[in-house]
Homo-oligomer: A and B are copies of this chain.
Amino acid sequence: MSLYLHPSITPDTIREAKGAGIAGVKSYPAGVTTNSSSGVVDYESFYPVFAAMEEVDMVLNLHGEAPPSPSTATQSTQQITVLNAEEAFLPTLKSLHERFPNLRIILEHCTTAAAVEAVKQCGPNVAGTITAHHLFLTIDDWAGDPINFCKPVAKLPSDRVALLKAATSGNLKFFFGSDSAPHLLSAKKGLSDGGLGAGKCAAGVFTQPNVVGFVLEAFQNACQAGIAKEGDLNQERVRGFLGGYGRKFYGVAEGSARIKLKAGGASVQNIRVGGPSGGESGMSDTVVTFRSEKPTYAVEWV
């Protein structure tokens, strides 16, 4: 369980939370002050909180994006867009790591080659998570397709290559984090804000039921594309990325439960979450799963 970084959190809150078994504090850029002229996120008011987290060894989970520039920004302003928001955040990551070298920090859902490089350059207390969907998607996949739209947005093909390399590299700094979001299809399509239904699309991709299979498929694609070598992708690396490296970073002992995957044994199903029983499922009671209807691995507990 995590706390949400908010001005009401004090060093005492952190110590109390640690005692109660809280593992981390999640920070979203919306929760912090922004110097909008430069896009730099100002965490200064949270320094005492971070110092307490460092002291009690609690993880800082960063949504690493600089907040967007106001649309009135002029040509002389450095403009933050969905495309460069993560890269613009990286100096903040580095400065937090320098100031609190013993604070364990996770740059959540990395989407760029620049983020991968920044995590590598930091010490062992900084790691990065990578989602299953960002191992598949690039900008072309969400341009005009709300199902694949999430934040941070999927970036360029070269960024996807960097994520696949990091995920398959056996580097303990990179491990899987699903960031799966079960929005209703009506919300994904931006129909749920009243009126005609011309609203904005909810950001988030739903992968949870099939996420282990998706990662395996992405790894296979990486091998086929020459991004990873099949010989390097032994069970240790796959298991490490999917769970082991994350457990190690969090200091959680290895579990005993195991799953078994069977290639081609299933297809991706959407999830029905409510609505009247019987009859057709509609947009307001369906969560569309990533790679819907595509063949995938069957998973069973062993």
On A, residues with C-beta under 8 Å from B are 68-69, 71-76, 79, 81-83, 138-147, 149, 153, 156-158, 161, 185, 188-191, 196-198, 200-203, 224-227, 270, 281-283, 286, 288, 292
Chain B contacts for A149, CB-based, 8 A: 143-144
Known: A142-B143, A144-B201. 10 other contacts (CB 8 A): A75-B225, A75-B226, A75-B227, A82-B139, A83-B156, A144-B146, A144-B149, A144-B203, A146-B201, A196-B288
Chain A contact residues: helix, strand, loop or mixed: loop
Q: Count copies of this chain in the complex.
A: 2
Q: State A120–B270 Cα separation when bound (angstroms).
A: 51
Contact across chains for A153 and B143 when beta carbons are under 8 A apart = yes
Nearest CB to that of A76 among chain B residues? Answer: B226
Contact across chains for A198 and B226 when beta carbons are under 8 A apart = no
Q: State A101–B71 Cα separation when bound (angstroms).
A: 40
How close is A289's CB to chain B, nearest CB, in angstroms?
Answer: 10
Nearest CB to that of A136 among chain B residues? Answer: B71
Contact across chains for A139 and B79 when beta carbons are under 8 A apart = no
Complex partner residue of A83 from B139, B146, B198, B227, CB under 8 angstroms: B139
Contact across chains for A139 and B185 when beta carbons are under 8 A apart = no
How close is A281's CB to chain B, nearest CB, in angstroms?
Answer: 7
Listed residue (A68, A74, A140, A200) with the most chain B CB atoms within 10 angstroms of its CB: A140
Q: State A154–B247 Cα separation when bound (angstroms).
A: 42
